[in-house]
Structure 1
Amino acid sequence: MVCRSIEYGGLGVRDLERTGLALRLRWFWLSRTDTDRAWQDLDLQFTPEERGLFYVSTSMVVGDGLTTLFWEDRWLHGQSIRELAPLLYLCIPKNRRKARTVAEGIGGNAWARDIRGVVGLQEIGQYLLTWQLVTHTTLSTEPDKLVWNWTANDVYSARSCYRATFHRSMTCRSWKLIWKVWAPPKVKFFHWLANQDRCWTAERLARRGLHHHPRCLLCDQEPETIRHLLLTCPCARQAWHETLSWLRLPAPSPEHDASLQDWWRYWCPG
C-alpha cells in the first residue's frame, strides 16, 4: 500500500522490486528494437513474469514481417495467436514459436506446416479462424514496428513500465482531498492514516490484543473508532458545528454508515 502512487491510495514510495522489473524490461525492449547493441548476441534470460509483462505491454505493427514473430507477438489486431487460438498455439513446437517470423509464415502458408500433434475439433476451429486472419494480412516494404502500449509516442520508458505494474489498481477517490490541499505535511499524513484506518484507536488496539479503554475517553459513550473520534463523538460534532457555522454551511449529522472518506467528499466534491 505504501508503495502505490498517491492516486491509488499510497504514499508514492518507490518499490525497488517493481523498479528492477521495469529496468530489466528495458533490456528486453532494446533486444527487439536495437540490433546494433554490442550484447545482442548474448543469450539473455528473462523470467516468465518479465516475459508476460513485456508481451501484454507491446504490440507489433507489421510491415515487411521480418522481425515480427508469427506465433508469439501481438500482431493480429493487437493480439497474438496465443491469445486468439490458445489450443492451436499448444500444437506448435517451442523452437518454432521462437523462430518463425510473419514473413516466413505467410510465404507459402508455412505457418500451417508448423502444427504438430493431435488436432481435434476445437483446434481445427481455431485453425480456420487463424487462416482467415492471416489471409487478410498484407506485407509492405516498411520495417516492422514494435509499439509500447503505455506511452503516447509508442516508445518504452521505465517510468511507464513501473506505472503499468499498478494497472487496474483501484483509484483512491479522495487522494486529492488528502494531498492537494493547503495543510502541513503532518496533517496530510494523519488524514491518510485515518482514511486507511491505521490510527491507534481503542478498536485497533483491541484487534491486536493490546490494552485499551472500552469507551471513548472524550465522551465515555461509544467504543473508540476512527469514525467515532472524527465524526460522531459529541466533541467532534461540536467542533464540526463551530467550523461549519463559521463557514456559513449547514452541519448535517453523518449518516450511520458514512465513512470518513464519504464525509470529506460530501463537503469537497471537486
Structure 2
Amino acid sequence: MEAVKGILTLFGEASGLRVNYAKSSATILHGDPDAAATIAHVGCKTADLPITYLGIPLTLHRPTAAQLQPLIDSVAARLPTWKAWLMNKAGRLALVRAVLEAIPVHQLLAFAHPPKKTLKQLEKIQRGFLWAGHATANGGHCHVNWRHVCRPLEYGNLGIRDLERASLALRLRWLWYTRTDDNHAWQGLDLQFTPEERALFFTSTTMVLDDRLTTVFWVDRWLQGQSIHEIAPALYQCIPKRRRKARTAAEALTGNAWARDIQGVLGIHEIGQYLMLWQAVQRITLTNEPDQMLWRWTANSTYTAQSCYLLLACPFVRQTWHAILDWTRIPVHPPHNEPSLTDWWQRTKGRTPHALRKGLQSIAMLVPWMIWKQHNECVFDNARPSIEALVDRIKTEAKCWAQARAQGLRVVLPTSWDVH
C-alpha cells in the first residue's frame, strides 16, 4: 500500500490532482483478513460492493435493475416540465435523439447484457415524452408502433435508437479492439461476451491472411471469406475445443501442424472434408504484412457502431439481400438508397469480379421476384412474413435455376449444393 500511495503522490505532483484520502474509499476483493487494517493505515475508508465508479455500478455479478435505477432517474430528470407543452413533436423528437438517448450510452458500453426492465423503463420515458410531452403515455397517445419509430431515417422512420440493439452494437467495439489494437491497457484481460455478441461479430468480420500471427486457424473466417467450421463442419467437430481457440494460423501452417489437431475416428465425410481443406490450404499465398481483420458493413472495412446498428435495425428486404449475397459469397453491397434496382446493378457490376457477374445478374432478378411473391402472399393470403422462410425459398429456387442451365448461378452457389 505504501507503494500505491507513493504512486498516487507522484501522480498528484505531476498533474496537480492530489488525492483526498478522507473522501476516498477502497474495496477488498478476495483479500486477506489484514487488508482492512492496511486500508485504515492509508487513511481511507472501506466500502463493500456494489459501489459506483464513473457512473457505473461495480459488482461481482450482473447488475440488477435496482442498481441501475439512478440511470433511469437521471434520464427522467432531463425532461422539461411546463416547457414540454410549448414544444411541438419535432422539437420533442430532437430532444429525445440529442439528450435522452445519449445519456445511457456510457452504461450500454460497459454492460454485456443490461436488464430488460431497465431498457423498457428508458424506452417508456422516451416514448412518453415524444408522444405526450411527459414521462408516460398510454395507447391513445402513441401514433406509431415504437419498433417502426426506432428504424433509421433513410427508411422513412424517426431514427430513434433501439436501446437493446444499440447496446449490442456498442459492445462489439470491445471485440473489435481486442482483435485489432494491442495498445490498450486492458489488452489481454479475459473479457466476457455473450454468445449473441460473438455470433454477430463472427458474421460481420473476415480475415486477410498475411503473416498469420493473429489469425485463429480453426475459428476465424480467413479461407475465401469463410471459417473452417463453415467449410468442413464434420472435420471441425474432431478438433478439441481448447485447440480450436488457441491454434494460430502461423502455428497451424508450419509443417501442416493443423493435421495433428484432428482426433477421434474419421468417417467418409470427415476424410472428404480433410482432403478438400488440404488442397485449399496448399493454395494459400502469404506475405510479411500483418494479418488484417475486415468489417463487412463499411466501405473502409473498419468497425463503426453506426454500421453495426444499421445492420441490426435494417428491415425485411435488406436482411434478405444480406443473407443471399453472403450465401453466394458475391463481394458486393446490397441495394441501399439507389433510385432503382437498375441503378444499383449498373453501379455494382463494374466492381464485381468478371467470373461472378452472370451469377450476380441472376441473383438481381431472382431476389426481387421472390420478395414480390412474398409480398403478395402477405397481402392477399394473410401469410406471415419470415426472413428465414423466404431465404430458404430463394435458395431452393436458385438451385432449380442452376439445374436449368443458369450458368452464372452454377458458379456462385456453394459447392455443397449438387447442381452440376
**Bin for the TM-score computed over the shorter chain:** 0.5 to 0.7
- Cα distance, 1:104 vs. partner? 0.8
- TM normalised by structure 1 equals 0.61
For 1:121, the equivalent position in structure 2 comes to 268
1:146 and 1:152 mapped to 2: Cα distance? 14
Distance 1:131 1:156 in 2: 32
Q: Is the 8 A contact 2:165 2:313 kept in 1?
A: no
Matching of residue 162 in structure 1 with residue 309 in structure 2? yes
* 1:92 match: 239
Identical counterparts, % of pairs? 62
Pair 1:4–1:138, CA change in 2 (3 A): same
For 1:107-141, what per-residue CA distance to the aligned partner results, in whole angstroms no more than 9, with x for missing partners? 11100111112211111111111111111112211
User: Which residue does the alignment assign to 1:150?
Assistant: 297
1:67 and 2:214 matched: yes
Aligned counterpart in structure 2 of residue 135 of structure 1, from 261, 282, 287? 282
Give distance in 2, aligned partners of 1:160 and 1:84.
Answer: 27
* TM-score of the pair, normalised by structure 2: 0.40
Residue type matched to 1:136 in 2? R
**Structure with the higher helix share, 1 or 2:** 2
Is structure 2 residue 183 aligned with structure 1 residue 36? yes
Match of 2:194 among 20, 44, 47: 47
Q: C-alpha distance in 2, partners of 1:42/1:56? A: 23
Displacement of 1:167 after TM fit? 4.8
Equivalent residue for 1:13, pick from 150, 154, 160: 160
User: CA separation in 2, counterparts of 1:168 and 1:55?
Assistant: 21
Deviations 1:200-224 (A, max 9, x none): xxxxxxxxxxxxxxxxxxxxxxxxx
Q: How does 1:198-209 map to 2 (within 5 A)?
A: none
What secondary structure, in the 3-state scheme, does the structure 2 residue paired with 1:19 have? helix
Which ranges in structure 2 are unaligned for 5 or more consecutive residues? 1-146, 319-336, 338-379, 381-420
Q: Which has the higher contact order (CA 8 A, sep 6+)?
A: 1
CA contact (8 A) 1:8 1:169 kept: no
Q: Check 1:167–1:95 CA distance in 2 against 1; reply closer, same or farther (3 A cut).
A: farther
What letter corresponds to residue 126 of structure 1 in structure 2?
Q
CA contact (8 A) 2:151 2:314 kept: no
Q: Report SS of the residue matched to 1:98.
A: helix
Structure 1 gaps, min length 5: 176-256, 258-270
* Change over 3 Å in CA distance of 1:109–1:157 after alignment to 2: same
Distance of 2:151 and 2:163 partners within structure 1: 12
Q: Is residue 83 of structure 1 aligned with residue 230 of structure 2? A: yes
Q: For residue 74 of structure 1, what is the amino acid of its counterpart?
A: R
RMSD (CA atoms): 2.0
Cα-to-partner distance string for 1:9-53 (whole Å, 9 max, x where unaligned): 644221111111111100000000111110012101111110110
State whether residues 59 and 74 of structure 1, in contact with CA within 8 Å, keep that contact through their aligned partners in structure 2: yes
How many Å apart are 1:166 and its aligned residue? Answer: 3.4
Matched, 1:106 2:253: yes
Give the Å deviation of 1:6: 4.5
Please identify the structure whose Cα radius of gyration is greater. Answer: 1
The one-letter amino acid of 1:159's match is: Q
